[in-house]
Structure 1
């Protein structure tokens, strides 16, 4: 039996009072999207708005897609049953113009506004929106540019920062964090440096005194922690230079922690306790206050530096006409604030603004929505903007505000709620729950009534009960349960593994009872270990989809791929070679490696055994060497992405993923990696990109929403989702919120003030570098916000369930269980599922699977055989380069293809106008050469600058460098016959390559090809010129064909001998 809808009056107002503004606080499962859609449809049906005058703003793209589908379906259904001709015409017009309604995220909404009025917004007409990854690369470029400038132009400032004891590299992560808050004014105070020497020397004297109580020979062969610190400090003071304040602070910091002693290891127990107390008192009374003053002093210098780098970053974005997600909001808010004509224009265009999930949106969105709906077009204080009646409809649930780490601020939500109420709007509440059975909501209500206040506070939303519409008739599995990890599991990794496989086993048994995989959802508090639960399901043959941030390196096969690419990048790296040989691609055992080395074998892929050093067990290793040689050779024949793609195919990486139970998501990750590294111009760059893609956290979204699969994600990804049975998993990780606080933002009506501490990663811990004055006060304030947010996170997690909630717990301890308070309050029963063998499957089903698999394999083989014939061939003018080594030419050492690539890139940067001296070291490191060769590269550049080519470049009409080309030749083409020697091939030929330099001087075109051959005898230049004639002549013919202009002269520039040869 269902219940009466207790909030029916509020729902009626939403759907019928179309000229009034509302803020609707809609609890979990209250059907807010349905109410939103009904209001939009009624606005159109009643003629309140045309469809093109409505803008509905959602939190995510996925929510926008869902809203679009439901809105269109509702319009179509209403049109079918509507009898009033006028209303039916309104609905018909809306359907005909459905594409003119804005339904999307706030960022896409701002993009539409800025694209329509870019000049007034101060933007380039062709501005480009950049994604997060590209934005970060741009920020790093700005960072590098800034420090390149100050090293040259403001070296005093650069060296001052270094004297503070802070490596510049430690500050980069702080900068990347700060740029996420471009609207915040960061607070800092410039202070005088504290007097460190007096405290330092007093403490050193105390340590020397304590040293007398430490036995010269350690008792039991060891020292305790305090003794080790004392002895280490005395040694450092004696042998290291502690003249700088930073060095003194570094020594004092080592004692600013919990100090412990082992009394029996001292000369006497009394001495041990005495000096422990003395040192602890000194740290508390003298060192800690000093450190606080030092951190504040450093902060006063670091924050101006960060602000200057952020300014450099903004300049770079403007120069390149880039805008990121924050810019879209800020520039839109500024445009609407300062330009009343533009504001009036968009008010006419969008007469009704509807916003969903407002509690988690960016604070700047509040400004935008008040400006675009304000009665007074000239009011520039958004808090004083009174929205036109019927122009604003906001939906949110402060109990689900969980995105503070992404700029969402519950203070702004509370402010907007107050303003809408004060400006003639009404606050409505939807508390009826159409998602969850009352057997679940009753227990949750009892818990959250204790955790949430009766009245909303600055930090927390008020308690509102979940009134379940559906009674539990116990006809299906329902209620709240706990899945318990036995007490014998105490290790964190073992507990997670057991939890994952216990959940997988439970789901497997329930599937055999008739449940479907899509009925289950597994939620964790954090991203960590999501893949463990994913793997557990796959190993039980349960289809699963993973959403959230993961690191591909957690899957060992991707790590092995990284090792392979790293080795191909540098074939002299023995460590990577051993990793590759021992990995799954070659499977050489440790015993075989030992026997190989013991028998005189070398870990060098170009080493071969001779008759004098016949090595046992050589076949597998030699075969691996041969295969690896092929991969290395590919580097010089194909583009970087093609090489990696060919290696992946050759080692059977896709089948390996399938064999290990991974699904199409992992294969999509691999395809995504290949697509990304296509932008790499060198193999070194491709390897670096691969490293970043495999070892950096990446966002994985479940795009196949309708699939019959278990969904796995963290709580933040579950917003707006639901499942019949929800598991709250991973009961072994709960972070103290105080430990992760690094900033606090205080927002006022006109300004946002930010308080930021600068930290560095020290092992697995963070170490303070700098902090603003009174940081402890701001930290306490932020801590209160985060503690209250943790309760809301549990609320979101628990309210995803429709019928059953299963919470993971440990029989041993739940101190680190993020769900512990909920479990303690509800006291759920242990889950009991009928004892069905998880692996049970009928012989008929197994036979059917095998038959389908064999049929698929046979069909696939037929398809491959049909399409195996080539349809085209490729050719590059440099394909025959390997033959040059057949010429009997005596060469100097130090050349090679990588050296040639380095010189080519140096010339390219030089010709493009870059200050090449600033890039030589980077190029040497990029291609793996010693920095000792810096002068050699510099001399080559200087020699080139003295050539006739360089003189002509200075006054040339057009200069092009590193010009790629790609030409398709049919077998009838005269040029085809010059290139293709064999007569039995008639399929098209794709000719591709890169011309080093082309320039137009006094109306004539010149083509230059650089050659880095290091011949000892200058007479060999004639032979080399003859050899390269075919290549450079082909460049001429292709250039003339593509550009439809003649080439006056083609030149070979031999870098080593500084010779220019006309061909």
Structure 2
């Protein structure tokens, strides 16, 4: 179905010359993938700065550049900056390799060169103030700067998150409309929308599409409710008396046997229907049975051939049923329309009451202000401020956005004539590619682009691909040139592009004799069994994984090169539609020991971690709710087995301990915030280690941390736990994509890239695999809401008609074609395109192909369900023959003959003889050593997975006293209990108190800590005196520093760190320690992953940063024996020296990231190891051990931790 509004024949497109493009009026620049769109924008920007082609030069503040994401604005700003820098170099006399810049230089009169240099220099200095915005950022700036002209309240605030307002608006509407409904109508609404959240999910796309026209126009819900109730009551009253007459009438008709049963048997199915109506009339509280109403409705009555439907006068009850069925069918559409209107008004009222603007409000407000202020000249004020506007990614514009720029620059008025605006040299440059319009799900409207295209007289295109090699360019040209309307709409034509002059320099060298850029791999099938989607997906993933493994194996052997360098894992991308497809690919790669990372625009709220974290939040927020606690324990985050949860129910001690643990977490949340509570939970329950033990561990850990950050950020805006949990619940329900909630990259290592096609837009990869585009969407169920376009207007088919469904499916197919175009234009050197004849079996139709519902099926000319493998292969061969050099067709074995899943799994093998730089390090690491979290204790005790908790390292080994003097039993610091319990107790008190207010804080915190660790209250005074004494013990020789002087602002308690480690071997660490005079003798398994730890105290003094660690070790029964020699012996015995060296490295990395002029010698103060039993104000330096590891040692340790597994083997 081609677009009936096309005017392709009247549109003339010129090749764009960046140097000579005229400014003034509206111009549309179509930039196919890889043709240098951003390069062109940067070049035009420099022209405007220099005044080339315009009456006078413009400044950065006068050139408006608009794009659609914050990331894109950052990239544009960076590319423009580099272009200006290049121009500046040329204009000061240096040679540059840029034809445009050289031409601009040559076109500048010598007398004007000094002024041009000044302009470029000023532009570089002011580029941070340049008008480069997202569309919402532009609207926000205009509304803020021109609040008076736009009639906006000056105190309006902006918020990105409107979920809280929508949450309340939906519930307000639900209460007002649904609670008063009669039982029968309420049942209908309840069946369709189980709760307000279900209604919100269905309406959210419509709330964001304010221009959508409901068709057909629904009845008013209130009136429909009255009519339906009246009709129901009349029917319920009339049926008992009219039943016999109706039955007699029906028996006199030649009823269809399939629907009503055989006439000879007295129409048994009819009898069941009538009995159902009897039951409803007598006992029913809801609506009559829907199937009965449908079967007995007058005009829907099925009769045998020759039968005649009675009139309404002859069959009044059947006519009544028909009217009832019609009213009931209108109920949900009418309710939805009423809900959209009612929720929108409540939504707007709540934001108005709080004087808040959301992103959508910014657009609506500015558009409304422009329309209302035509006499006051708001549009003129904006255009005078920004005489030239460049709109990037214009294909992603929606109607409201285009209306804003159209109003400002009068784009519609400039159709080839010299308008007033054109004379004034106002310019609107719209740059985009309709073939890459793939963001309909976030409001982009390709039909807006089509409208703008038809209304704009001057069209230009970029016709040279600078991304891909010539064969890849030829292959894409061949695929999309097969049909006259490859994107369904004739308003989106395909024009072949040329390869660049240096395209042949982009070479992939392989051992294979065939070097075709596009390899089309067709999966065979069994004729009788067909190929279901699950099987096809698995077989395709297996072949992708085997081929990737083969490529990387060849690279290890120097047989697969890009230029002169071996192919790397990160050079390969697998393009998928969603996380489900990504998981299939990642699983197949994991089987072959090939590491991969998943990049997506999906929301982090659409993850298992988000759903499980909600259960954990419930448990922490109400620690007395044991049902919530058991639900949290059952999550994979906390990892309790069914048996462990059963023990929780049976063992009172364990039950009480868990309840206390969550009660403490509740207090941490209240006192310190949600993020500290989650970090404490993670530490107590080994969440991080548990997640990382999973094959997808890095992905899951990244999501967990991301969610924690979002919760912490939102907690600063909301009041209390309940509000935060409500927000989190709403975010889970709505799952709306936003930049801050977008899934983050879990690793930046050398890994195969698994990328959604949406995320890949704008990116490029040397090799791409496109495995699943031939697997159709599931179109068996009508979508809700159902949206399509008619004459460029968005239609909401509120009754979900079959015609509307077909039109929406057609538009979905058109978007799939654009997605396929995006996917095929990502590879630079080679692409693997897979095709499988996905089939589906139904009783009605048998085995039918679904390929005709896919983009690749459409391009192959397969337009019906009757497609077998032979037909597919014939069409694929025909496609390949259009470009036989660039394309190669390969058949994969049939699933039933040589089952791909039964073939030997090819695994990536390491090779000791392979050159070091060639081996994909991450893949090899995954094969040799599992990724894990280690600790200091694990390094010194050869423990693979050591639980690290604050204070738990005090008694790592059984205590051996250095001094064993006799002492009486009088309570004192020397007779106080020893061991881990005492150490943890001492740590907790020092963590809880303010050192500068210890006298007061100890009275409050000592009893709490003593109760927790079972310390008898008789020790209270001894402990308080001991703490007050040690806090005033001098740490420095001159007495200038003591703990009691440290304010809360100067110290950081229990700083947790994770040090990434690529490949740590005991012998290399031993050698490094010996080199700098520290003890060696370490013996541990190779560690790859993270080294985790806690620093008891990190503090600042005189602009230096120190580490302090508390030790409760017993060295003797008098402070005098806690001198340096005895402490050094304990340090070496317990390997505390290694501990503070690692801590120093963690602090070194921390400060290096956060201090602009960081210097180890100046800013690292050193490490204090405080033996608490020996510290006293009356015994200076007793119990205080100090060391500062050499800078060279820390730097070499830093390098050692960053050393790759391959480096470690070769050195």
Please report how far the alpha carbon of residue 109 of structure 1 lies from its aligned counterpart in structure 2 after TM superposition. 1.0
1:571-970 paired onto structure 2 within 5 Å? 577=630, 580=633, 588=641, 603=646, 605=648, 607-608=650-651, 625=655, 628-634=658-664, 637-639=667-669, 641=674, 642-662=676-696, 664-678=698-712, 679=715, 697=735, 700-702=742-744, 708-730=750-772, 731-736=774-779, 739-740=782-783, 742-744=785-787, 754-757=795-798, 770=799, 781-810=807-836, 813=839, 815=850, 819-822=856-859, 824-825=875-876, 826-827=879-880, 828-830=888-890, 837-842=906-911, 857-858=935-936, 868=950, 969-970=994-995
Structure 2 equivalent of residue 916 of structure 1: none
Give the 3-state SS of the residue equivalent to 1:52 in structure 2: coil
1:192-271 paired onto structure 2 within 5 Å? 213=261, 233=273, 236-241=276-281, 247-248=287-288, 250-252=290-292
Structure 2 equivalent of residue 520 of structure 1: 572
The alpha-carbon distance between structure 1 residues 463 and 732, as it changes in their structure 2 partners (threshold 3 A), is closer
5+ residue gaps, structure 1: 1-6, 218-225, 258-271, 594-601, 610-621, 758-769, 871-965, 992-1063
The alpha-carbon distance between structure 1 residues 448 and 505, as it changes in their structure 2 partners (threshold 3 A), is same
Give the 3-state SS of the residue equivalent to 2:835 in structure 1: strand
Give the 3-state SS of the residue equivalent to 2:481 in structure 1: helix
CA deviation map 1:519-577 (0-9, x unaligned)? 2222224554333324444553424232132677765x777666666677687767984
Structure 2 equivalent of residue 87 of structure 1: 116
Range with greater deviation from structure 2 (243-252 or 854-863): 854-863
What TM-score comes out, normalization by structure 1 length?
A: 0.64
Output the CA distance in 2 between the equivalents of 1:57 and 1:645.
Answer: 40
Structure 2 equivalent of residue 406 of structure 1: 442
1:20-99 paired onto structure 2 within 5 Å? 21-46=26-51, 47-82=56-91, 83=93, 84-99=113-128
CA deviation map 1:94-148 (0-9, x unaligned)? 11211221122111111111111234434333323322xx312311201223344
1:931-1010 paired onto structure 2 within 5 Å? 969-972=994-997, 975-976=1000-1001, 978-981=1003-1006, 982-983=1023-1024, 984-985=1026-1027, 986=1031
The alpha-carbon distance between structure 1 residues 298 and 583, as it changes in their structure 2 partners (threshold 3 A), is closer
Please report how far the alpha carbon of residue 684 of structure 1 lies from its aligned counterpart in structure 2 after TM superposition. 7.0
Pick from 417, 440, 445: which aligns with 2:477? 445
Structure 2 equivalent of residue 331 of structure 1: 365
Structure 1 equivalent of residue 207 of structure 2: 179
Output the CA distance in 2 between the equivalents of 1:652 and 1:254.
Answer: 59
The alpha-carbon distance between structure 1 residues 516 and 247, as it changes in their structure 2 partners (threshold 3 A), is same
The alpha-carbon distance between structure 1 residues 629 and 491, as it changes in their structure 2 partners (threshold 3 A), is farther
Please report how far the alpha carbon of residue 374 of structure 1 lies from its aligned counterpart in structure 2 after TM superposition. 3.8
Give the 3-state SS of the residue equivalent to 2:567 in structure 1: coil
Pick from 411, 424, 431: which aligns with 2:463? 431
Please report how far the alpha carbon of residue 35 of structure 1 lies from its aligned counterpart in structure 2 after TM superposition. 1.3
Output the CA distance in 2 between the equivalents of 1:364 and 1:321.
Answer: 22
CA deviation map 1:34-81 (0-9, x unaligned)? 111111111112353222101111132222222111110111011111
Structure 2 equivalent of residue 547 of structure 1: 600
Give the 3-state SS of the residue equivalent to 2:16 in structure 1: helix
Output the CA distance in 1 between the equivalents of 2:753 and 2:271.
Answer: 55
CA deviation map 1:465-513 (0-9, x unaligned)? 1322335877455422245556489554444344334323322332232
1:116-515 paired onto structure 2 within 5 Å? 116-131=145-160, 134-149=161-176, 162=186, 169=195, 171-184=199-212, 186=214, 188-190=217-219, 213=261, 233=273, 236-241=276-281, 247-248=287-288, 250-252=290-292, 291=325, 294-296=328-330, 299-300=333-334, 302-339=336-373, 340-374=376-410, 388-421=424-457, 426-453=458-485, 460-469=491-500, 470-471=503-504, 475=509, 478-483=516-521, 487=525, 490=531, 492-512=533-553, 513=555, 514-515=566-567
Contact 2:214 2:795 in 1 (8 A): yes
Output the CA distance in 2 between the equivalents of 1:438 and 1:160.
Answer: 67
CA deviation map 1:848-906 (0-9, x unaligned)? 99799899755996999999569xxxxxxxxxxxxxxxxxxxxxxxxxxxxxxxxxxxx
Output the CA distance in 1 between the equivalents of 2:410 and 2:760.
Answer: 34
5+ residue gaps, structure 2: 1-11, 94-112, 310-314, 556-565, 840-848, 861-874, 881-887, 893-899, 914-920, 953-990, 1007-1022, 1032-1043, 1050-1211
Output the CA distance in 2 between the equivalents of 1:535 and 1:576.
Answer: 32
RMSD between aligned residues: 5.3
The alpha-carbon distance between structure 1 residues 81 and 564, as it changes in their structure 2 partners (threshold 3 A), is closer
Contact 1:741 1:782 in 2 (8 A): no
The alpha-carbon distance between structure 1 residues 653 and 500, as it changes in their structure 2 partners (threshold 3 A), is farther
Output the CA distance in 1 between the equivalents of 2:761 and 2:665.
Answer: 46
Please report how far the alpha carbon of residue 23 of structure 1 lies from its aligned counterpart in structure 2 after TM superposition. 0.8
The alpha-carbon distance between structure 1 residues 57 and 563, as it changes in their structure 2 partners (threshold 3 A), is closer
Max radius of gyration: which structure?
Answer: 2
CA deviation map 1:800-832 (0-9, x unaligned)? 222222123337756256544457443552389
Output the CA distance in 1 between the equivalents of 2:693 and 2:361.
Answer: 45
Contact 1:22 1:420 in 2 (8 A): yes
Give the 3-state SS of the residue equivalent to 1:389 in structure 2: coil
The alignment of Structure 1 onto Structure 2 pairs a total of residues equal to: 809
The alpha-carbon distance between structure 1 residues 561 and 68, as it changes in their structure 2 partners (threshold 3 A), is closer
Contact 2:572 2:768 in 1 (8 A): yes
Output the CA distance in 2 between the equivalents of 1:527 and 1:848.
Answer: 22
Give the 3-state SS of the residue equivalent to 1:17 in structure 2: coil
The alpha-carbon distance between structure 1 residues 95 and 830, as it changes in their structure 2 partners (threshold 3 A), is same
Pick from 119, 134, 150: which aligns with 1:105? 134
Output the CA distance in 2 between the equivalents of 1:627 and 1:499.
Answer: 50
Contact 1:68 1:103 in 2 (8 A): yes
Output the CA distance in 2 between the equivalents of 1:636 and 1:13.
Answer: 62
CA deviation map 1:134-178 (0-9, x unaligned)? 312311201223344567xxx767889638655663544343332
Contact 1:150 1:158 in 2 (8 A): no
